[in-house]
Structure 1
Amino acid sequence: MTDQATTQQTGSGTDAVPAQPGPRYEDTRSVIPGAGPAAPRPGERATLRLRGTGTDTDTESDEPARYAPEWLQLREPADAFARAHDLLDPLRIRLANLPRRADGFIIHDIGCGTGSMGRWLAPRLDGAQHWVLHDRDPYLLHFAAVASPRSAADGSRVSVETRRGDVARLTADALAGASLVTASALLDVLTREDVDALAAACAGAGCPALLTLSVAGRVELTAPHPLDQEITEAFNAHQKRGGLLGPDAATAAAEAFSEHGATVRINPSPWRLGPEQAGLTAQWLRGWVGAAVEERPELAEPAGRYLAERLEACAAGDLRVVVHHSDLLALCRPAGGAA
């Protein structure tokens, strides 16, 4: 998983796998878009692209969605449980020290998807909030706006607006007046240049950033299997295709924000999946193994057997999985003031 970098499903993941005798890898077209691998189009890196200029006349608006709402909804409860709650207190302290605005806090959610970050965070913060939701997919933006929370922890009003755009074009000017930047499962599908630009934009605007659920490259499954490590290594290599950060994302982001003078904290935020999350576990397994096979086609036959065994254990309620992630809080120096 990256959750989102594992993600971009078009059904092409098995096309390069040669026919082999005996069991072979399961067709990844059974994976919900967003839970399995897909090759980028020629000339395009396989990453979250927030294309557009803020209008609905984007010439690429017909492009198939890379992240199905079904996948984002399926993972939302696990995301909410996993996020590092210990980072909320230092964030609340920073927000409480900001100058009060008549319209409350301005929060930019980058790559918002269906808006799960806002649904999790807005009710945990006091004070009026205005969320600016950024994504490339107009359908997801509509879903996020409709399903957004309406009140903060203290009952204050929460409002939203939506914008389409490219995270690589995010600048300090675009974040002028921002109180906070958030993102979920985003850093690992960015390049180092993208992360440097994000850190520079936040530092230039003097706003903190809460960036959650970056894939950490470690997985624990019960019971252990001889192929676990090999599939993990192949998956991690797949995550770093095209210069993407993959499991190095949290460390790279910490370095980038620190270079801009921010105080950075990284806390673990693992998914802990058991029988109650069998649907999510099954989709994650297919995507995880699918990415490994796409990276190393010679794994197709043993991976097919492995996946069948793991899915059988999952259906029987005998499989438990810990998928490690990292949450990062960067407290940038306020614009025109001391940290």
Structure 2
Amino acid sequence: MATGAGPGTGTPGGAIPAQPGPRDDEAAHSVIPGAGPALRPGERAILRLRGTGSDIDSEAEEPARYAPEWLQLREPADAFARAHDLLDPLRIRLANLPQRADGFIIHDIGCGTGSMGRWLAPRLDGAQHWVLHDRDPYLLHFAAVASPRSAADGSRVSVETRRGDVARLTADALAGASLVTASALLDVLTREDVDALAAACAGAGCPALLTLSVAGRVELTAPHPLDQEITEAFNAHQKRGGLLGPDAATAAAEAFSEHGATVRLNPSPWRLGPEHAELTAQWLRGWVGAAVEERPELAEPAGRYLAERLEACAAGDLRVVVHHSDLLALCRPAGGAA
């Protein structure tokens, strides 16, 4: 889901690529949809992994919850943060798959504007066909138009889009898949959803690379007495309606392990400095806003806290580490091979 308008260019060992400075207009002082509270009372998650046809029809009419502007803003930070150490074991698994004339078939679940494909496709050798899943037709169009056209070795990369198919994600739907990917998805799912995702991947015998799940920990400089309260309130908000929130990566690791997969969890933190002021400001507004929505009694002190943090951000004095987790699950290939 965490995607944007241009390719992520982060590489290990350096800083997250700088972004444009804060815009001095009204949009810069409001929360972009997606940066703020993920769910409001009575709302559904961004997608469902199972459901009836009526579920798909009714959800298709709901407004998009992730604005392209938010996905664009976070794409460079996402690209840098993803756990590059998981790529080598993934490459080894893919290299051991039977060769197909059409190359690897990669399903990107909740693809948003397609940043996962822009990050991963140029890091893998071999022809690839990406199947992009999302419920938002505008985001699907953007993802297809902005998708990469060549792999690391120059092989062809092609794409197709599927709207609403994630509601029926099963082993049959993933038949023939070489890989399932997702970004910033697990924490907006329930345990039942994650179990279904693990079962589908295991049934299809394909690995899964699931990145940037919220870990429930942040670090801000300098420390403030309200940091912990806001963190706890935000984490509670993330778990509304039975969603996994910061427990998602651990729950997914357990689910995939129960289905016989070999699982690796690696940290993938955002490290935001003065050069990422716009992203930091939007993240702060959304983080504090969700905490206050969960605990309205925090509104007054949290308002002062937010003003202080935004002032430090604008002055270039604030640094933030937002912890995430990346998961690689190597399911047993179909047919029982090791």
Provide the identity percentage: 94
Query: CA 1:292–1:21 in structure 2 vs 1: closer, same or farther (change >3 Å)?
Result: farther
| CA deviation string 1:251-276 (max 9, x = no partner) | 00000000000000000000000011
| Structure 1 position 7, deviation (Å) | 15
| CA deviation string 1:53-112 (max 9, x = no partner) | 999994554432110000000000000000000000000000000000000000000000
User: Does the 8 A contact of 1:263 with 1:332 survive in 2?
Assistant: yes
Query: CA 1:226–1:154 in structure 2 vs 1: closer, same or farther (change >3 Å)?
Result: same
What SS does the corresponding residue of 1:202 show, helix, strand or coil? helix
Query: CA 1:287–1:8 in structure 2 vs 1: closer, same or farther (change >3 Å)?
Result: farther
Say which of 10, 22, 30 aligns to 2:7.
10
| Structure 1 position 46, deviation (Å) | 3.9
| Structure 1 position 45, deviation (Å) | 3.1
Aligned residue number for residue 34 of structure 1: 34
Query: CA 1:301–1:251 in structure 2 vs 1: closer, same or farther (change >3 Å)?
Result: same
User: Does the 8 A contact of 1:5 with 1:246 survive in 2?
Assistant: no
Query: CA 1:38–1:331 in structure 2 vs 1: closer, same or farther (change >3 Å)?
Result: closer
| CA deviation string 1:253-304 (max 9, x = no partner) | 0000000000000000000000111100000000000000000000000000
| Structure 1 position 51, deviation (Å) | 9.2
Q: For 2:184 and 2:125, how far apart are their aligned partners in 1? A: 24
| Structure 1 position 166, deviation (Å) | 5.2
What SS does the corresponding residue of 2:252 show, helix, strand or coil? helix
User: Does the 8 A contact of 2:220 with 2:318 survive in 1?
Assistant: yes
Q: For 1:63 and 1:254, how far apart are their aligned partners in 2? A: 31
Q: For 1:156 and 1:19, how far apart are their aligned partners in 2? A: 30
User: Does the 8 A contact of 1:9 with 1:37 survive in 2?
Assistant: no
| Structure 1 position 167, deviation (Å) | 3.3
Query: CA 1:42–1:291 in structure 2 vs 1: closer, same or farther (change >3 Å)?
Result: closer
User: Does the 8 A contact of 1:8 with 1:46 survive in 2?
Assistant: no
User: Does the 8 A contact of 2:49 with 2:193 survive in 1?
Assistant: no
Q: For 2:289 and 2:45, how far apart are their aligned partners in 1? A: 15
Query: CA 1:156–1:7 in structure 2 vs 1: closer, same or farther (change >3 Å)?
Result: closer
Asked if 1:49 is matched to 2:53, the reply is no
RMSD over aligned Cα, in angstroms? 7.3
Q: For 1:310 and 1:191, how far apart are their aligned partners in 2? A: 32
Q: For 1:22 and 1:123, how far apart are their aligned partners in 2? A: 28
What SS does the corresponding residue of 1:58 show, helix, strand or coil? helix
Q: For 2:323 and 2:33, how far apart are their aligned partners in 1? A: 21
User: Does the 8 A contact of 2:171 with 2:200 survive in 1?
Assistant: yes
| Structure 1 position 6, deviation (Å) | 15
Q: For 1:18 and 1:162, how far apart are their aligned partners in 2? A: 29
Query: CA 1:139–1:156 in structure 2 vs 1: closer, same or farther (change >3 Å)?
Result: same
Query: CA 1:285–1:13 in structure 2 vs 1: closer, same or farther (change >3 Å)?
Result: farther
Q: Normalised by the size of structure 1, how large is the TM-score?
A: 0.88
Aligned residue number for residue 22 of structure 2: 23
Q: Normalised by the size of structure 2, how large is the TM-score?
A: 0.88
The aligned runs of 1:208-227 (5 Å cut-off) are 208-227=207-226
Q: For 1:86 and 1:214, how far apart are their aligned partners in 2? A: 16
What SS does the corresponding residue of 1:59 show, helix, strand or coil? helix
Q: For 1:36 and 1:242, how far apart are their aligned partners in 2? A: 17
Q: For 2:156 and 2:111, how far apart are their aligned partners in 1? A: 20
| CA deviation string 1:111-143 (max 9, x = no partner) | 000000000000000000000000010000000
Runs of 5+ unmatched residues, structure 2: none
Query: CA 1:5–1:138 in structure 2 vs 1: closer, same or farther (change >3 Å)?
Result: closer
User: Does the 8 A contact of 2:309 with 2:318 survive in 1?
Assistant: yes
| Structure 1 position 204, deviation (Å) | 0.2
User: Does the 8 A contact of 2:47 with 2:167 survive in 1?
Assistant: no
Query: CA 1:255–1:56 in structure 2 vs 1: closer, same or farther (change >3 Å)?
Result: closer
User: Does the 8 A contact of 1:50 with 1:165 survive in 2?
Assistant: no
Q: For 1:276 and 1:132, how far apart are their aligned partners in 2? A: 34
User: Does the 8 A contact of 1:109 with 1:132 survive in 2?
Assistant: yes
